[in-house]
Amino acid sequence: MTKKLLVFDFDGVLVTGTNEGYIRCYIKAMKDAGAIDDTQEAYAREKILENWGSDYKTEILSVVKDPALFEKTRRLYLSFLQTGLFLSTVKKAPHTDNTLAFISKNGFVPTILSGSPKDHILRVMSYVNINPTQFMEIKSGCEYPKEHQKPHPFMLLDQMKKFKVAPKDTIYVGDAEQDILMAKAAMVTSVTVLTGIIDRKTAENYKTDFIINDLSEMGVVLKCT
């Protein structure tokens, strides 16, 4: 059987609730840093969502332009991620364990490619009891220059090069518009799961290859590719 590379986004795919948790932490960090006030919260949320899927620094910079306020916001944001403000929102996505067991049993090469910092991903995995050794690699978009982050295909191309897998044998599972754009730019199969930020109509408009309600449907997708 041809080796298949299965690349997962993290938030909204393997774990749920994190997207709202991130926004809570962004908004509180910006307010506590003095970068925005209550009247600017809706604007800040809109700008963050416009850049969703980028690394966290890019999402903060979409709102906070002043360097000193950016640095204060950044530090506060990272500290809030370790508190109940964020962790109280986090759950393991439905059917994650069964999906990972199926992948392992059938010889797929699973990796994680996320815009979140790697130490944060590992902390959340521990919190929801996902074993990181089930993945051949966990890679953060923060490790790449901004111009090579989502929706640029570089990160996916880098994964394919490392594991010596062709685009036709690579699947990317995400939950946002930028995930679909990156997968298409890299010419890999795009799977959009509706447990994250995107809705079905938007996913259809972006012409993703597969739309699934949750990870329980991944087995069907893998048999079709």
> The pTM is what?
0.91
- What tens digit of pLDDT does each residue of 183-204 get? 999 999 999 999 999 999 999 9
- What tens digit of pLDDT does each residue of 157-169 get? 999 999 999 999 9
Q: Where are the domains of the chain?
A: 5-16+93-224, 18-87
Architecture of domain 5-16+93-224: 3-Layer(aba) Sandwich (3.40)
Q: What is the mean pLDDT of the chain?
A: 94
Question: pLDDT > 90: what percent of the chain?
Answer: 87
Instruction: Report residue 192 as tokens.
Output: 């959009």
